[in-house]
Chain A
Amino acid sequence: MTNLTKHTAPTSMIPSVIQDYSRKVRKALFKPKLTILSISLLNGRFKALSIINDTIHLSWERPGLVVSTETLRQAIQDAIHHTQYQGTYVAILVEDTRFITKNLQLPPMSPSDLIPILERKAQQEKNWEGQAAWCHRIGLKTRENGKVNIHLEIWPQEFVDQIVQICQELGLHLCQLGPISSLSESQLSMLPVEPGMATLLLTILEGKITFVCGKEDGTPLLTRHLFPTQDWVPLGERVGTEVNRTIMYITQQTNLSIPHIWFLGEEDHLTIGEIQPHVPTEIFPGPVNPDWKYWLWVGATLPIDHPNNFTPTHVLREPLRIFLTKAVAAIIVGFLILGVGTTSALQGFLAQNNDIVQAVSAKATILQQNQEQWQSRLVALQTQRQWAQAITAPVLPPLEGPFFSYLSTVIPPQIILHRAVMERTSEGWNLELSGRSATNLSTTLLALDQLVKHLGEGPYHVALQPDWRAKLLTQTTTSSGTKATSSLIPFTMKGTLS
């Protein structure tokens, strides 16, 4: 039961404009050709029509009545056989005495509030054991009290489940399971209605009289049924009375007027001539002369989102689910084939180039050895060269010999040199000269000054410490004070060569 509620509730929530637009887009884009087995089960009378690629193929009427589930299963099987139907889709329209049709007037409310009320109402109205399945359609909003008319169809849930199970067992996709009144309502859209007007369609189908009032766009406003139970009143008069009541109700509740009444039915039950005397509004015959094949065609073309479609949502989605499953499977298989192919191609490529890869590996090994060898050689070469260069690198020249040779040429004859020392340092050479002079002080100083000048100018540019003179004078004063007879004047000079 809840499945149907779920099915019908969203449908009523979606604006009809969007639904129409979606339907038009689907038709424009896909234009599927209709292949379906349309079945009607009207109070046990079983009829079937196979439609293949938008063309009526074969029809079949089962003799006798279908009264049980097993008989229905066999009837559908026979219908498939006799109509040579090879498709999978099936639409079933049912009229049964157990079914209940109610017109309710309820205050406007949200679907979340409305659904529980309708559910409770359906369970209250059912006259059979078990759950009730129901569908509803919101119709005309009354002007007097602001309530809305709700058309409620109540079926046994068990019957719906049995139909679904039979279709599953027979491999059929059930896409339509609705009441016969859905056919009448669907005919509103084919009637010519002037703008701003409404119309009333009177149908007689298998003896069931239905009044359907709709707007110019085919939207049903009110649906009523009339059962021929009062035999003492002529049927034409009774129908005319109900027509008048319906027109008055519509006129009262809306501003719409109904200028025409259309009659679509079986002439053997009732004719326009029998009704017209009791109705002031003119009654026209329908644009088509329907027979039961026509109604089966109409039933096959009902949209699956019809408000009175009792087919559970999961059953409706089954074809799409199967299609998606197949599509996904095809994609996966394609991917598998692609993957296997790619892997095989790569494997073949690798096998083909295996020799090259091995040769490259061997070459890489040899190259690594060569690299290490050449690196080792280069490092050894550089190390040995650095070592040799470090030994053969030029150092400070041996200056001592040449300097002492030069010293012998510049030393004055008055000067007696006792000690000459050259000591190498990191910056150059330290020089120390010491000796005595055999002349007087002034001559000694002159000679030493001459020596200092030569040493400072010469090729060696000796920088002598200037304190040699002070030391010499100090020593001379001390010596003359202590030992006046001494005639040798000592001196010491220190300097550097750089």
Chain B
Amino acid sequence: MKGLLTIGKPNLQSLKEMALSLLFILALCTVGWLSFEQILTVQASQSQIQATNSLEQQVVQLRSNYLQAEPDRLKTELNEADILLFQNFTHLTQWGHDLQEQAKRLDLQTKFRILKTEETGSSIEGVILVPVEIQVLPQGTNSAYQSFLKFVKTMTQSGPRVDIQDMTILGNGKKATVLKIGLSVWMKATNSVEL
């Protein structure tokens, strides 16, 4: 009964102490929270400054790496690569005509045939491989074996990159009559992205 009475009528002094304690705790929490927040802000600022310094070093390093990579030489390299590629089928056809002209000077007749016009992808982005077959026939009666070899030399040194896949020379027992060359030429893809 005494305990119930105590619960029913709390001591005024205890209430004051509790209220005071709550106020103090509240004030402490407020100050603590503000201090904590300020400390976090300072730490964040310091972290930002450190991150900025680190970022600056990274940028300097990137710039150094870029300059060490000799960007000025890239244009030359790209031009050298570009020379080795056929720009399109027109270019390829023009190259075939040039070969025919050179073959005539060697007293040879050439038949130039693109075996497959659709694009065949290669392992290199933006480059397709076009199969081409060239058939060379002698115009005179003499043996054209040496002329065939000169023609092959002329063709491989004509500029664009041509990979000879197979080469066949036929003869009739007296002279070489036919030269067949299977080629794979490198051409820019028509829808390739300009690098």
Report yes or no: A423 in contact with B165, Cβ–Cβ below 8 A. Answer: yes
A405 interface residue (CB < 8 Å to B): yes
A391 interface residue (CB < 8 Å to B): yes
A371 interface residue (CB < 8 Å to B): yes
Report yes or no: B171 in contact with A417, Cβ–Cβ below 8 A. Answer: yes
Closest CB in chain A relative to B118 CB, distance in Å: 21
B139 interface residue (CB < 8 Å to A): no
**Contact bitstring B143-160, A, C-beta under 8 A = 1, else 0:** 001101100110010000
Would you list which residues of chain B between 26 and 62 have a CB under 8 Å from chain A? 27-28, 31-32, 34-35, 38-39, 41-42, 45, 48-49, 51-52, 55-56, 58-59, 62
Stretch touching chain A among B79-87, B96-104, B108-116: B79-87
Contact of B35 among A346, A381, A423 (CB under 8 A): A346
B45 CB contacts on chain A under 8 angstroms? 350, 353, 357, 360
Measured in the bound complex, the distance between the Cα atoms of B77 and A389 in whole Å is 8
Closest CB in chain A relative to B74 CB, distance in Å: 6
A343 interface residue (CB < 8 Å to B): yes
Report yes or no: A364 in contact with B152, Cβ–Cβ below 8 A. Answer: no
A226 interface residue (CB < 8 Å to B): no
B41 CB contacts on chain A under 8 angstroms? 346, 350
Report yes or no: B156 in contact with A374, Cβ–Cβ below 8 A. Answer: no
A391 CB contacts on chain B under 8 angstroms? 81, 84-85, 124, 127, 161, 186
Interface size on A, residues (CB 8 A): 56
**Contact bitstring A419-434, B, C-beta under 8 A = 1, else 0:** 1111110000000000
B163 interface residue (CB < 8 Å to A): yes
Report yes or no: B195 in contact with A384, Cβ–Cβ below 8 A. Answer: yes
Interface size on B, residues (CB 8 A): 63
Query: Residue of B at shortest CB range from A328?
Result: B24
Closest CB in chain B relative to A263 CB, distance in Å: 48
Report yes or no: B124 in contact with A404, Cβ–Cβ below 8 A. Answer: no
Report yes or no: B167 in contact with A422, Cβ–Cβ below 8 A. Answer: yes
Closest CB in chain A relative to B16 CB, distance in Å: 11
Report yes or no: A340 in contact with B48, Cβ–Cβ below 8 A. Answer: no
Report yes or no: A378 in contact with B65, Cβ–Cβ below 8 A. Answer: yes
A128 interface residue (CB < 8 Å to B): no
Query: Residue of B at shortest CB range from A371?
Result: B59
Closest CB in chain B relative to A251 CB, distance in Å: 48
Would you list which residues of chain A between 140 and 178 have a CB under 8 Å from chain B? none
A401 CB contacts on chain B under 8 angstroms? 149, 152-153, 156, 167
Report yes or no: A388 in contact with B80, Cβ–Cβ below 8 A. Answer: yes
Residues of chain B having any CB pair with chain A under 8 Å: 17, 20, 24, 27-28, 31-32, 34-35, 38-39, 41-42, 45, 48-49, 51-52, 55-56, 58-59, 62-63, 65-66, 69, 71, 74, 77-78, 80-81, 84-85, 123-127, 145-146, 148-149, 152-153, 156, 161, 163-173, 181-182, 186, 195
Residues of chain A having any CB pair with chain B under 8 Å: 325, 329, 332, 335-336, 339-340, 342-343, 346-347, 349-350, 353, 357, 360-361, 363-364, 367-368, 370-371, 374-375, 377-378, 381-385, 387-392, 395, 398, 400-401, 404-405, 408, 416-424, 435-436
Closest 7 pairs (CB-CB, A-B): A339-B31, A401-B152, A346-B38, A374-B62, A423-B166, A388-B81, A391-B81
